[in-house]
Structure 1
């Protein structure tokens, strides 16, 4: 009997070893952590900061996290969402507020202060990925966005293994979710927390549209909601534009948007100093 019991115990132990899920599969338990290798130290710290808020059962709050400094704040009522009626009573984050907090904690600097679209188009980008790229090239800490180039309305932090940390919607708490690739997924951006390279300027005005060609009649790409830090690759003379009391035929190409904007709405000289002429 002792030998038989020992054999049975050995077989059970072997089955447990064979069937026990590997570490990467443990995400099925909903835990929030880095789930695949390859991320930078800053990206891993950002994941850790976001996951600390998930683990603390922090609420989603519309407008939360957009105070003078990164961190949870009381939310606001979203006039388009009846479920947000209690958000002013909840200390928490909306989607971009959580991303802002995570990368501020990771880098010690408020490098992603803005809404989802501003965070995706940040000049602190090390790389961008389209929806067609899928999840294969992504690393933990990459930021996933949903919407269109004109209207990016949601952002989340990739954990790896098809999982993400997000502030999803009013009435829920921060959570770990499966990445939703069939619900308007637009792409992802990888953050470089170092100094911004290239020619950096600031726009002025509100609702200023970028275009897919240097022409007022060209297709719209994205509208700056307000003054925005931009990176300019080059500039060229093209269609003459008159607006807000200024006339200029200079247009600048913005590599982060893959779009053009008239120099009228860029703070600086009419022809930007030290910026080369575009050859395309």
Structure 2
């Protein structure tokens, strides 16, 4: 009887261990897959940025999946450091055990990698008001004038409590808060969004235009009935390769049969949602 009991206990323990391992393995696999997916979409998503800004985006995107840690990234040299406990945030309890960045630590590291030296020291407030800033954009301007590598900030009353790096297409890479990892997010234009700054001068990119409107979809073909590809949540800078006459579209009180091809998205957008004339100047006709 004792032998049978031991055998049953062993089988039960093995079953529990297998179940635990399977569950945790699945969780680890899911986490890895999520990080890989985020890393895949973390890249320059619009044309026109300077070489330095593009390098900053690439450097920040290399950190996808790294922990947010309060105070992380503010060591003697740019790079990940162990964080601190934020007395006002219970979620920061494990930050001293985690190697990573806070929001401004990530920005500091990205521009260190891009430009050399240590051009963006200090916290989010100092970076937003850095002498390295070459151009400013108000919150009311939204994302329309922004280019990849621009820094977006949140705060009110003259303070800045968060900063992130714009990717283009309404996306940003950020170290957001304790308990989370560096990730790609949709730009949050509401709340206390304070505007953006440009650190590096923009390169002049031919064929660059801006969309307008909200929740504007692109399509696989120049037709509203073809599959959707990407949605622009708000005004976005895009590069247009060519345009052609295709399906007439009526929207926002306009009718137009011109469609433009966006090579970065591999998709078409009706010219109704491109700022400019119905047939865009300086853009070739698609073959």
- Place the TM-score, normalised by the shorter chain, in its bin: 0.5 to 0.7
Say which SS state the counterpart of residue 55 (structure 2) adopts. Answer: helix
1:222-279 per-position Cα deviation (integer Å, ceiling 9, x unaligned): xxxxxxxxxxxxxxxxxxxxxxxxxxxxxxxxxxxxxxxxxxxxxxxxxxxxxxxxxx
Aligned pair 1:45/2:55, yes or no?
A: yes
TM-score (norm 1): 0.57
- Equivalent pair of 2:39/2:62 in contact (CA under 8 Å): no
Q: 2:50–2:200: 8 Å Cα contact kept in structure 1?
A: no
Cα distance in 1 between the residues matched to 2:48 and 2:158: 31
- Could you say which residue in structure 2 is the equivalent of 1:212? none
Distance in structure 2 (CA, Å) of the matches to 1:144 and 1:103: 14
- Structure 2 residue matching 1:145: 3-state secondary structure: strand
- Change in 2 beyond 3 A, CA 1:41/1:74: same
RMSD of aligned C-alpha atoms? 1.6
Judged with a 3 Å threshold, the aligned counterparts in structure 2 of structure 1 residues 78 and 29 are, in CA distance, closer, same or farther, namely closer
| Aligned mates of 1:146, 1:73 — CA distance in 2 | 24
Alignment-derived partner of residue 87 in structure 1: 95
Gaps of 5+ in 2: 1-36, 202-287
Please report how far the alpha carbon of residue 109 of structure 1 lies from its aligned counterpart in structure 2 after TM superposition: 1.2
Deviations 1:122-180 (A, max 9, x none): 11111000001110000000000000252100000000000000000000100000000
How big is each residue's C-alpha offset from its partner over 1:66-123, in whole Å with a ceiling of 9 and x where there is no partner? 0000000000000110000000000000000000000000011100011001000011
Give aligned pairs, total.
Answer: 165
CA distance, structure 2, for counterparts of residue 58 and residue 28 of structure 1:
12
Give 5+ residue unaligned stretches, structure 1: 1-26, 194-280
Q: Is the 8 A contact 1:30 1:176 kept in 2?
A: no
Indicate how the Cα distance of structure 1 residues 149 and 121 shifts in structure 2: closer, same or farther if over 3 A, else same: farther
**1:149 to 1:107, Cα distance in 2 relative to 1, 3 A:** farther
| Contact 2:125 2:160 (C-alpha < 8 Å) held by counterparts | yes
Q: Is the partner of 1:99 in helix, strand or coil?
A: helix
Q: Within 2, Cα distance between the matches of 1:30 and 1:166?
A: 15
Match of 1:191 in 2: 199
Q: Is residue 128 from structure 1 mapped to residue 136 from structure 2 by the alignment?
A: yes
How far does the alpha carbon of each residue in 1:160-201 deviate from its partner, in whole angstroms, 9 at most, with x for none?
A: 0000000000001000000000121000000038xxxxxxxx
2:105 pairs with 88, 97, 102, which one? 97
* Equivalent residues in 2 for 1:85-164, closer than 5 Å: 85-164=93-172
> Following the alignment from structure 2 to structure 1, what is the Cα–Cα distance between the partners of residues 40 and 143?
19
What residue in structure 1 maps to residue 28 of structure 2? none
CA distance in 1 between counterparts of 2:118 and 2:111 reads: 7
